[in-house]
Amino acid sequence: MHSSLVALLVVFAVAFAAPPYDPAPRPEQSWLDRHESFVNNTLVNAESINVLFYGDSITDGWDNAGNPTFQEFYVPLGTANYGIGGDRAEHVLWRIVNGEVQNLSPKIAVLKIGTNNLGANNDTDIARGVAANVQELKARLPDMKILLLGVLPRTNEAMTIRTSNINDMISVLDNGDTTRFLDMKEHFYRGGNDFVTELYTADLLHLTAAGYAKWAEAMNPLFFEMFGQNSTNLIV
């Protein structure tokens, strides 16, 4: 995309904040640079990308705290991690629309987005934003399967009630075949304000290395079933 058009879109995004189901870029140059790096990675490595991870800082964290687990299970499959810290549903949607998946033919995408919308949007609109991402991925990559993950429990009981409400709404996107939904809540949260704290950093939002290992443990059976590979001995 031409830089002038990107700049114009950023101006509009700043002036008129988009709802979660309308694509919108972020104004930071560092974010635009990160997006361009993903577009370039897609262009250069399209034939070797079999798995996409999409999301915010929690997905981005596979490259940091989660890296040992990511290297063990997902890198050997040909995985591109397109998570960016701070992204909301509308930002991931904009990235999908603007070149990050062009000419790809992956087997599966793992999508986990929505937690950063909780401060600005109601639960119904957040669910619509998540659904818009699923629909856009399906439209652009119709042969790809989508593993949609629920928003993880976070912060406190009140916030986790909201994440559970959102997850209830987006769970209907599961068609039992090409799109599946997985809620990992039971692995991270015991109820009330009782979180499995060793899986979280101090903010009860981001994950520790143990949190990423637990994510893989919870996700791998369904992930490898969808990917088409026997998961025996591949679960953490």
Instruction: Give per-residue pLDDT as tens, 177-194.
Output: 999 999 999 999 999 999
Coil, strand or helix: which one is 175?
Answer: coil
Whether the predicted pLDDT of 174 surpasses 80: yes
How does residue 90 score in pLDDT terms, banded at 50, 70 and 90? Answer: very high
The domain spans of the chain are 3-227
Statement: residue 27 has pLDDT above 70? yes
14: tokens are 């700043």
Cα(67)–Cα(113) distance, integer angstroms: 19
Q: Is 123 left (phi over 0), alpha (psi -120 to 50) or beta?
A: alpha
Compute the chain's Rg from CA coordinates: 17
Question: Does residue 7 register a pLDDT over 90?
Answer: no
The three-point CA angle 210-83-217 to 5° equals 30
Asked if residue 67 lies in contact with residue 207, where contact means CB atoms within 8 angstroms, the answer is no
3-227 to CATH, choices 3.30.70.20, 3.30.930.10, 3.40.50.1110, 3.30.360.10 = 3.40.50.1110
Secondary structure (3-state) at 151: coil
Distances (CA, A) of 204 to 53, 125, 159, 199: 22, 24, 11, 9
Per-residue model confidence (pLDDT) at position 79: 98
* H/E stretch holding 33: helix 29-45
The angle formed by the CA atoms of residues 16, 118 and 10, to the nearest 5 degrees, is 25
12 against 96, higher pLDDT: 96
SS3 165: helix
Report which of residues 56 and 1 the model is more confident about.
56
Placement of tokens 């957040």 in the chain: 126
How many angstroms separate the CA atoms of 96 and 71, rounded?
A: 24
pTM for this prediction: 0.91
pLDDT at position 18 is: 80
pLDDT at 82: 98
Q: Is the pLDDT of residue 11 over 60?
A: no
Per-residue model confidence (pLDDT) at position 180: 98
The average confidence (pLDDT) of the chain is 92
> Does pLDDT of 173 surpass 80?
yes
Q: How far apart are CA 236 and CA 215, in angstroms?
A: 9
pLDDT at 17: 64
Cα–Cα distance measured from residue 177 to residue 140, given in angstroms and rounded to the nearest whole number? 18
In this predicted structure, the answer to whether residue 232 has a pLDDT above a threshold of 50 is no
